[in-house]
Amino acid sequence: MQREKAKERIILGIDPGTVVMGYGLVKQTGQKITLLSLGVVKMGHLDDQGLKLQRIFKKTMSLIKEYQPDCVALEAPFYGKNIQVMLKLGRAQGVAMAAALSVDIPIFEYSPRKIKQSVTGNGSASKEQVAAMLKTVLQFKETPEFLDATDGLAVAVCHAFQQNSGVEKKAYSGWEAFAKENQRRLR
């Protein structure tokens, strides 16, 4: 009797931002997760918001083209006091979502607390604690220059950990599904 091949998928995780966007890619084969890539897109030197959003879109598309992920997981916007910062973060997330949805890749959103809880077991973990746990889980030694890279990677790992659980997550298979589910956001 032939053994069934372990299911394999590639997950692109994105921590959206308009100064620095972090990303991480993992390959999941059954229960095993391996690191493919992680990095950041720096945009602090750009003054124009349109150029920042264009950079996010193009980088997301190039990662999709290079790694052909099966899904994209994003950190959901958190609620803060500064409306302008929230608006910019929402736009950054929307542009990354648009890139994935434009090529029919399903997207998933996770709250920052859920990501930290999933990776470290503590929803209040620091960025440094998340990075340290990822280094252990994925067995890499070098510490990225920016913790935004490990934040993006944490989103991908969080999604990988959700595979067999009935945990709450939002998924959209395309623009129509996203628009239908988010009527209030589109007005």
Catalytic center residues:
15, 75, 148
Task: Report whether 35 contacts 92 (CB < 8 A).
Answer: no
Distance CA 74, CA 125 (A): 18
List Cβ neighbours of 98 (8 Å cut-off, separation of 6 or more). Answer: 57
* Whether the Cβ atoms of residue 113 and residue 40 lie closer than 8 Å to each other: no
104 is in an annotated binding site: no
- 148 assigned ligand-binding residue: yes
How far apart CA 84 and CA 70 sit, in angstroms, is 33
Q: Please give the annotated binding residues, written as ranges.
A: 15, 75, 148
Enumerate the known binding-site residues for Mg(2+).
15, 75, 148
